[in-house]
A and B are shown apart, each in its own frame.
Chain A
Amino acid sequence: MSEAQVQRPYVVLLVDDDLRTTRRMADMLREDGFAVEIARDGAAAVARLSRSPVPDALVTELTTAHADGLAIGRFARNQRPGMPVLVLTGYPNLFHADAFTGGPPAALFTKPVEYAALRSALRDALESSQASERRKSSPAKT
């Protein structure tokens, strides 16, 4: 966790209507060095994604009010192409990994989610996304 604290912490947006559990998860992620924000439904998530600074990653439930996880994910990728998207759901059948374009396929976690697995998947996705952004901005690109 030390390496993540060296630079600006990654901003992660959590979207779920189960606020009690989501807050607890946010606490644990913060302890592990992430900056975390919470939206309880699709509308709030889209509102947050519209503001700067745009979050670095999205962790969302699939069945959310006003706009579902797929819509939030697509909006997020629109705001920041290549943004890591992690989908947590009790309805894995509703999800297709290629639902979002403009970046690597979203990772799917069927609830109940094991926290450790989620945290490492999130970290890996953020790091590889940062690496590819650095490659894009570098003039030595071939």
Chain B
Amino acid sequence: MPGETRFQELKRYVRFDDRDAQLLVRFRERAEPEFPRIALEFYDRIREHTDAHDVFTGEEQILRLQRSLVLWMARVCGGTYDEAYHEQTSQIGRVHVRIGLPQRYMLTAMALIRVALLRIADREFGADSPPMREALIRILDIELAVMLETYKDSFVERIRAVERQERLDLGSALARAEHRYVNAVELASVIIIGLDRSGSILLFNREAERVTGFARDEVLGRPFLEAMAPEDPDGGRSRRLEDALAGRSQPEVTEGVLRTRAGKLRDVLWNLGYAGNQQEDDIVLFAIGRDLTETRAMEERARQAEKLAAIGTLAAGLAHEIRNPLNGAQLHLSYLERAIKKKAGEQDMLGATRVVADEITRLAHLVTEFLDFARPKPLQLKATSLFKLCDHARSMVLTQADGVRVDVSCDLPSADLEFQSDQAKLTQVLLNLLQNAVEATGSGGGGSVVLRARRGPRHVIIDVEDDGPGLSTPEAPIFDAFFSTKEGGTGLGLAITHRIVTDHGGSIDVSSKTGKTTFRVILPLAEAPDGPS
């Protein structure tokens, strides 16, 4: 009926009316003294059943509940059955739900009370009992219906909560899965680029950013070929890409070249994965690439090292073969010199022997230097003081510098520092650079040479700077073996210098103009070993 509450509807359903209410009031007058007994029996019955009993927390609670039950029975027979009554019943139901009383016990417990009350009705009202029984049955079933409704409400609420939780779980599982995939793509040390059917970039991972130097937002949406492929004069690249985008190429491994943001080319080994069943605007081609440039460079260096080692072996053999005849020549020359002296010294002949002796010495020196270059002894790394190294090298060149009016000075940092190096070899490097600088400056009639050392976060920087005339050809490959512009040089000095520096993991460079030539040696400061040094 329109405007009817649920409680009114229930009452109408069981035909509970005012007459029933009056009957119940009459019933209560007789039955009320027996309510405590019924409550006691009621709870004693519950004690027999584990699941029902489990909801109790202790005797005090049972006593309280017994009192509540007495009040409830009085209320049920109270004669007033309005919305407030309905709300109270709902509350009682909600308490049962909250304490977790199983529904079956509520139904059967109601049977206990029903039987007890009907017996009282029969006993007290005799022939008038039937309408009284009907009234009791109606109100008790209404009670039951209302309380069951609270169970239903709670059940629906619980289902909803479970569903909500399940949705949440599902959502977070999806989020977790996605997070994993994103991490896998982002943290992978391979280039991962995804292209749509038109060849535009839709996915560009961190390694791709690192290798190419492009930021993601610079390239997303741009055609891959335009963004980072090198020139494609015969169109072969774009044809191959078209085939791959159309799924016409087999899953394949192919070598390619990437153009970086700075315009450099990187060799990349691509593994193409075609995902053709995607939607038009989704990724159809995953290109997974490994940057081979470093590997290639390493292979190249390994080949160089092998070549050098082979040359070194050859050089050592050659050195022996050269040194032996030189030894013979030298010794016979000493013999000749002695013989000439015995005949009271023919000066011309003595002079000639000296020239030959000088030439032999020079050849021997060349052999030694060439061996140093081609087959260097392994580095003997020791803690080296920067100050001592520089001072020592400077002191070794001072005599030579004084002779040609060149001032050699050190410009050192405020505090000394120690680093791992082969001290003898680094001294050779600095001496070599200082001698070159002194000779260059001295040839111009004097000047000054500065040995400057500075420390960087992970490097030592040592400059040898002179104010001489500068290199005649600054672009010439002066660090190559046998590239020498120096009178009487072997052509190996700077090559050995370069080799020693690179063997230390460092680098050497030169910049030169008239009045300022700087050789810059950069040496790595190794990580400090564990513990105090």
Q: Tell me whether B331 and A90 are in contact (CB under 8 A).
A: no
Q: Is B320 an interface residue (CB 8 A)?
A: yes
Q: Are A27 and B320 within 8 A (Cβ)? A: no
Taking A90-B319, A112-B326, A113-B327 as contacts, is the C-beta distance between A21 and B332 under 8 angstroms? yes
Q: Is A126 an interface residue (CB 8 A)?
A: no
For residue A115, CB closer than 8 A to chain B, the reply is: yes
Contact B331 A24 (CB under 8 A): yes
A51 at the interface (CB under 8 A from B): no
User: Which residue of the partner chain B has the closest CB to A21?
Assistant: B328
Alpha-carbon gap, A28 to B375, bound state (A) = 35
Assess the A91–B319 pair: CB atoms within 8 A: yes
Partner of B327 from A27, A90, A116 at Cβ < 8 Å: A90
Tell me whether B396 is interfacial, beta carbon within 8 Å: no
Report which of A28, A90, A91, A111 forms a contact with B334, defined as CB distance below 8 A: A28
Check A116 against B323 for contact (C-beta < 8 Å). no
B329 adjacent to chain A (CB < 8 Å) = yes
A112 near B364: Cβ-Cβ < 8 Å: yes
B323 touches A111 (CB 8 A): yes
- B361 — which chain A residues lie within 8 A by C-beta? 112
A63 within 8 A of B: yes
Answer yes or no: B316 CB below 8 A from chain A CBs: yes
Closest Cβ neighbor of A32 among chain B residues:
B338
Asked whether, in the complex, the Cβ of A110 is within 8 Å of the Cβ of B323, the reply is yes
Total A-B pairs, Cβ < 8 A: 62
B144 within 8 A of A: no
List the B side residues contacting A46 at CB < 8 Å. Answer: none
A108-122: CB near B (< 8 Å → 1, else 0) gives: 001111111000000
Pick the most buried of A90, A91, A116: most chain B CB atoms within 10 A of its CB: A90
Mark B145-157 against chain A: 1 for CB-CB distance below 8 A, else 0: 0000000000000
Within 8 A of B (CB), among A6-41: 18, 20-21, 24-25, 27-28, 31
In the bound complex, CA of A27 to CA of B331 (Å): 11
Q: Which residues of A contact B371 (CB under 8 A)?
A: 93
8 A-B pairs with the lowest CB-CB distances in the bound complex, closest first: A90-B323, A90-B320, A111-B327, A112-B330, A21-B328, A115-B334, A112-B326, A111-B323
A residues with CB within 8 A of B: 18, 20-21, 24-25, 27-28, 31, 63, 88-91, 93, 110-116
Q: Can you spell out 25 A-B residue pairs with CB atoms less than 8 angstroms apart?
A: A18-B328, A20-B328, A21-B328, A21-B332, A24-B335, A25-B331, A27-B335, A28-B331, A28-B335, A89-B320, A90-B319, A90-B320, A90-B321, A90-B322, A90-B327, A110-B323, A111-B323, A111-B326, A111-B364, A112-B323, A112-B360, A114-B330, A114-B334, A115-B331, A115-B334
